[in-house]
Amino acid sequence: MKRFFLFILLLFTIYLAKPYWEKPVSQYIDLSFLDSVDHKLEAFLTSEPFETTVHFISDQADKAILFFLADTNVQDHEVKNVEKPTLKEPETSQISIHNLEIGTAEESVIATLGEPLQISHNEYGTNWSTYHQDYHNFVMISYDNERKVNAIYTNDDLISSDAGIQYGTSKTVVRKIYGEPLTEIRKGLHIYILQDSEGFDLFKVGDMYAYFFYDLHQEEMVTAVQLVASSLEHSKSGIYAQGNDELRKGFEIQLFDLTNAARVRHGLPALKWEENAAHTALLHSIDMAEHNYFSHENLAGLSPFDRMKADGITFRAAGENLAYGQSSSIFAHEGLMNSKGHRENILQDIYSHLGIGVAFNEQEQPYYTENFLLK
């Protein structure tokens, strides 16, 4: 059995290396007889018995693809313990995050969290200031012109409310407390119909909007919350923000941080930024946006792994997540976490690096590409 497995592994390795030896060898030997072998070998290697080696999962709004070499081993990881803050009931609003609320002054935030580790542009035309301790106690905060909090997000156990809602509360309880979620938002003369989704609810809570994101793989419990001041929400006149270079970079940085925060929360190590993989991801997002398609395979027939290799990237394992149309990095990430294939990529033990590229089409709709690597 061992010899048979080694033989299959040898065939698989030769098959993957074919683009490198085929051209020089074909100058001396007619290799046309290998065409039929190619088809049979490809069909064999992607058949059911090898599902754990080559695995394709996709759905309508986003796509995931994974690739593993047969000798890839999963490593044990030590979970770092970081002290959680003692959470208190909100003082001036109904919901707080890390004991901070909409309207909190920046100096109070700094006194609680210190200086931000990252500042990046967001879809509201402000910046997310990001705070965490090696991706534990992860918080993103936006400030208004008076340097008071006008938006705050977390996907960590930092949620407190006067009604007892916290990280891990079920969707049923949230709806019991706040009623039926909003199905539309009126902004001036415009009414925006919210997309029906099981992944999040939106409520008007006092003078703010509260987005509750649920983990559909863990009994629809609250896994993240985003609070947005009503004034900020209504200042965003459209579903999509203007897709400029500043927002592109912001979405890429935020999606990277959100991914690492999710990994750390699930007991996995944070990934390192891989600039070459980010470049490959960006080119694919641009290509999809410009040519109006959505697929791991580009119009030239190249897979993510073909594109990475063409850009000189070496890896022992790799994966790609795609998302399209989500109005922000937060919605893209939360949607990916609720899709089985994408979640598997995000929470793979073996990955060490990640590169992300975002591009916008003519309608300002974002295309997100995440390239995961084990180097």
Instruction: Provide the residue-wise pLDDT of the chain in tens; the chain has 375 residues.
Output: 445 444 545 555 555 555 545 555 445 444 444 444 444 444 433 333 322 222 222 333 456 666 655 455 555 556 567 888 889 888 889 999 999 999 999 999 999 999 999 999 999 999 999 999 999 999 999 999 999 999 999 999 999 999 999 999 999 999 999 999 998 887 666 777 776 677 999 999 999 999 999 999 999 999 999 999 999 999 988 889 999 999 999 999 999 999 999 999 999 999 999 999 999 999 999 999 999 999 999 999 999 999 999 999 998 999 999 999 999 999 999 999 999 989 999 999 999 999 999 999 999 999 999 999 998
Whether 344 and 66 have beta carbons less than 8 Å apart is answered as: yes
Q: Are residues 113 and 225 in the same domain?
A: yes
Q: Are residues 5 and 137 in the same domain?
A: no
Q: Are residues 60 and 8 in the same domain?
A: yes
Q: Which residues of 181-219 are buried (b: 16+ CB within 10 A; e: fewer)?
A: beeebeeeeeeeeeeeeebbbbbebeebbbbbbbbbeee
For 357, phi then psi, to 5°, come to -135, 135
Q: Are residues 177 and 274 in the same domain?
A: no
**Residue among 222, 220, 197 nearest 212 (CA):** 222
| Strand-pair partners of 224 | 213
Q: At what angle do helices 329-337 and 245-265 cross, to 10 degrees?
A: 30
Residue 251 included in any domain:
yes
Contacting residues for 136 by C-beta, under 8 A, at least 6 apart: 80, 82, 156, 264
Domain range enclosing 331: 245-374
Q: At what angle do helices 2-26 and 34-45 cross, to 10 degrees?
A: 140
Q: Are residues 272 and 359 in the same domain?
A: yes
Residue 80 included in any domain:
no
Q: pTM of this prediction?
A: 0.80
Going by their DSSP bridges, the two strands 353-360 and 208-215 should be labelled as unpaired
Whether 213 and 226 have beta carbons less than 8 Å apart is answered as: yes
